[in-house]
Amino acid sequence: MFTYILKRILYVIPIGLAVSLVCFSLVFLAPGDPLSAILPPDATTELIERLKADYGFDKPLPVQFGKWVLRAAQGDLGTSIATGRPVNSEIAKAISNTFMLAMFACGIGFSFGLVFGFVAGYVRNTWLDKVVTGIAVTGVSLPHYWLGMVMVIIFAVLLDWLPAMGAGAGGSDAWAWDWEHVRFLVLPAVTLSFIPMGIVTRTTRAVVAEILNQEFVQALRAKGMDSLGVFKHVVKNAAPTLLAVMGIQLGYLLGGSILVETVFSWPGTGFLLNTAIFQRDLPLLQGTILFLAMFFVVLNVLVDILQSIFDPRIRR
């Protein structure tokens, strides 16, 4: 068990290196020069050379990559070209906003998904199962930016219950845990929760139905276990698969949804990435992608470890 966990954690190093290489080189595959965006059109050659030297763009790519990784490993992701501020502080704010949004969306999506999925799995092929499955399919199929706009129209414009955009009154970005701020979370979080809800429902239903068909469930009934006793077995058997699915969904949401964050003007990573791309802000782009990718990797390791706690067969 312990060696398994240690192994999983050590795997992060090569994966992390590979991920950072991809992040780094992806940006150079795209056309355009980051400096041309901030330089005046009539800039002298010396000025261009000086700026290139300042940002390290004059070195060969492998050297740039090496330096970048070394600094990133120490927690320094460089300086944003557009704002001149450290990438770290730019990302930190956006990440915490997206994180909050993702956690809320997952909280809503996973709870409904799990309840729906278990119910449907237990009563499969009944009308209730069909209703629940219908909701799940709808949740997965709705384009969420469209859903976001519909929500805004209904709850912000027509009913005027909730704010339509931003993360605080008057566009302020100071966050506090009170209703004045949390109400800004509701619409984007609910909008984002539909896809994880649908996916978790469908997965749970399939997994639960499959488990209930297994012989050991009949054996459990044969030894006199009550419904709750059988349910515990179903949960523990379903847990590894469900954790994997939920981990991936949480990862996706943490990446920030560019579309939904744009619809709601939510100052998160999706918003940030969008801006970085348009401004050709290479360090910011690389840093954000790297951070998100590493988060995904770490999340997967966590899921792996959790899975192994539930299912002993995974440890080998």
Partner 1 sequence: MSSTATTPLVEVTNLSVHFRNADATVHAVNGVDFTLNAGEVLGILGESGSGKSVTLKTLMRLLPEKKTTIGGGMRVAGHDVLSLDRAGLIAFRGRVASMIFQEPMLAFDPVFTIGQQIAETVIQHEGVSREVAMARALEMLERVQIPSAKRRLEAYPHEMSGGMRQRAMIALALACKPQLLLADEPTTALDATVQIQILLLLRQLQKEMGMAVIFVTHDVGAAVEVSDRIAVMYAGRFVETGDVRTVIRKPGHPYTQGLLAANVLPGTGIHAGKRGDRIEAIPGAPPNMVTLAPGCAFEPRCKWAEERCGTKVPEPLPSADGGAAHLVRCVRAVA
Q: Amino acid identity, residue 213?
A: N
The verdict on 233 binding partner 1 (CB under 8 A) reads yes
The verdict on 310 binding partner 1 (CB under 8 A) reads yes
Per-residue interface string for the shown chain with partner 1, residues 192-221, x marking contact by CB under 8 A: ----------------------xxx-xxxx
Nearer to partner 1, 39 or 217 (CB): 217
What single-letter DSSP state applies at residue 161? Answer: -
The verdict on 229 binding partner 1 (CB under 8 A) reads yes
Nearer to partner 1, 26 or 222 (CB): 222
Nearer to partner 1, 203 or 269 (CB): 203
Nearer to partner 1, 3 or 223 (CB): 223
257, two tokens: 């949804």
The verdict on 313 binding partner 1 (CB under 8 A) reads yes
Indicate the helix (H) or strand (E) that contains 258.
helix 258-263
Nearer to partner 1, 220 or 306 (CB): 220
The verdict on 3 binding partner 1 (CB under 8 A) reads no
The verdict on 71 binding partner 1 (CB under 8 A) reads no
The stretch among 160-168, 231-239, 246-254, 286-294 that binds partner 1 (CB under 8 A) is: 231-239
Q: Would you state the torsion angle of the CA atoms of residues 263, 268, 272, 274, taken in this order, to the nearest 10 degrees?
A: -30
What b-and-e string marks burial along 104-138, b requiring 16 or more CB atoms within 10 Å of the CB? Answer: bbbebbbebbbebbbbbbbebeeeebeebbebbee
Nearer to partner 1, 52 or 233 (CB): 233
The verdict on 127 binding partner 1 (CB under 8 A) reads no
Q: Helix, strand or coil for residue 86?
A: strand
Are 303 and 240 within 8 A, CB to CB?
Answer: no
Are 133 and 215 within 8 A, CB to CB?
Answer: no
The verdict on 130 binding partner 1 (CB under 8 A) reads no
φ, ψ at 280 (rounded to 5°): 55, 40
**Binding residues for partner 1 (CB under 8 A):** 214-216, 218-226, 229, 233, 236-237, 310-313
